[in-house]
Amino acid sequence: MRIGIIGLGMMGRTHYEAYQEIDGAQVVAVADQDPKRASGDLSGTGGNVLQGGLTHLPMDRIKGTTNFLDLINMSDVEIVDVCVPTTQHVELATAALKAGKHVLCEKPLARTSADAEKIASAARSAKGFFMPAMCMRFWPQWAWIKQAVAEKRYGAVRAATFRRVASMPAGWYRDGKISGGAALDLHIHDTDFVQYLFGMPKAVSSRGYAKTSGEIDHIATQFIYDDVPLVTAEGSWCLGDGYGFTMQCNVNFENATADFDLAREQPLRLSENGRTEPIDCGPGFGYAAELRYFVDCVKKGQKPTVVTGDDAVRSIKIVEAEVQSTRSGQMVRI
């Protein structure tokens, strides 16, 4: 499969590196409005999970352009991978879909659910396949948890708690009009996973506050379900400068507890029958698994089902309800 990446910042670089692990996937084109990056110079791109070692792309094998439309119109590009700041997803993803390409688009799908719906609607009538890059659904240990919940392997879930907190990121993330603040940009990973595990909540009750971005930068939500007594998630960019990044979850079944902490060598542990054991879900993060799944779907001509455009729209709608609840202090029905 021949891939073109638009946006060569932190996520564009992460995706480029992940494609190197996928048999039959080849990045043939890149586009970035910054001429330095379009020429393959990736120095200065950081990240929460992967700090990045790659600084230069092999441009003898890759076409570089500063105009994303050039990349979208290249006849040898089959998959367009959109990794630009959030407010630009709607224009780029719909243009690539209209050009008949298969399209993967970074999360959050758009800055608002209305814009996300425009992409989901374009995807419904497109010739190519579409997938929003909700990477937690593909994170090896989280995929294990999803399977265990779906099979009721340890009984029903009684409680699920998620925590994803960090220091304030730099650049456009600090402008809430573009990023949506931590509530949309960061916390959506957990909101989306809650939706993946339990479906749409009946209501949300959130607390939090705005800081640097002008949007909600620290949020804690209780997701209300009839059949799961306690589901909560906290997301933040308000931790002290230098804190770094924490990603944790704990799913408490009737008969066992699954506990994930990215900081551990073996991030997932299961406590059951008086013992706590690490669960080995294999090496790697969710990015390569996510991209491999999409490339395989395109190769086989099978529409992606693990996550759809409509799922991504719903996750943004839940976050919008959480923000409304934070601002009003009231529970918001969905």
Of the candidates 70, 104, 157, 28, the residue with the CA atom closest to the CA atom of residue 296: 104
288 touches ligand NAD (CB under 6 A)? no
Measured from the CB atom, is 43 or 147 closer to ligand NAD? 43
123 touches ligand NAD (CB under 6 A)? no
What single letter denotes the amino acid at residue 84?
Answer: V
Stretch that binds ligand NAD, among 78-86, 120-128, 147-155, 269-277 (CB under 6 A): 78-86
319, 184 Cβ separation under 8 angstroms: yes
User: Encoding tokens for residue 81?
Assistant: 């991978």
86 touches ligand NAD (CB under 6 A)? yes
Helix 286-300, helix 10-19: angle, nearest 10: 60
Contacts with 305 (C-beta within 8 Å, 6 or more apart), sequence order: none
- Can you tell me which of 135, 216, 268, 313 binds ligand NAD, judged by CB under 6 A? 135
94 touches ligand NAD (CB under 6 A)? no
DSSP state of 148: H
88 touches ligand NAD (CB under 6 A)? yes
Stretch that binds ligand NAD, among 7-15, 73-81, 197-205, 305-313 (CB under 6 A): 7-15
* Strand arrangement of the beta sheet that strand 26-31 belongs to: 63-65, 26-31, 2-6, 79-82, 102-106, 130-133
The number of residues making up the chain comes to 334
- Which x/- pattern over 294-333 shows residues binding ligand NAD (rule: CB under 6 A)? ----------------------------------------
- Can you tell me which of 11, 116, 318, 323 binds ligand NAD, judged by CB under 6 A? 11
143, 118 Cβ separation under 8 angstroms: no
Of the candidates 85, 195, 83, the residue with the CA atom closest to the CA atom of residue 137: 195
Tell me the β-bridge partners of 333: 203
Smallest distance, ligand NAD to C-beta of residue 171, A? 5
Classified as helix, coil or strand, 109 is coil
Smallest distance, ligand NAD to C-beta of residue 299, A? 22
247 touches ligand NAD (CB under 6 A)? no
Stretch that binds ligand NAD, among 1-9, 152-160, 245-253, 300-308 (CB under 6 A): 1-9
- Can you tell me which of 4, 40, 64, 85 binds ligand NAD, judged by CB under 6 A? 85
What b/e readout covers 22-46, taking b as 16+ CB neighbours within 10 angstroms? beebebbbbbbeeeebbbbbbeebe
Given the structure tokens 């997932």, which residue do they identify? 268
- Which x/- pattern over 16-55 shows residues binding ligand NAD (rule: CB under 6 A)? ---------------xxxx--x-------x----------
Smallest distance, ligand NAD to C-beta of residue 101, A? 15
295, 25 Cβ separation under 8 angstroms: yes
- Which x/- pattern over 164-193 shows residues binding ligand NAD (rule: CB under 6 A)? -------xx------------x--------
Q: Which residue is nearest to ligand NAD (CB)?
A: 9
Given the structure tokens 């374009």, which residue do they identify? 122
- Can you tell me which of 1, 4, 5, 7 binds ligand NAD, judged by CB under 6 A? 7
Measured from the CB atom, is 133 or 219 closer to ligand NAD? 133
CA dist 258 and 275 (Å) reads 12
Q: Tell me which residues touch ligand NAD (CB under 6 A).
A: 6-12, 31-34, 37, 45, 68, 83-86, 88, 106-107, 133, 135, 171-172, 185
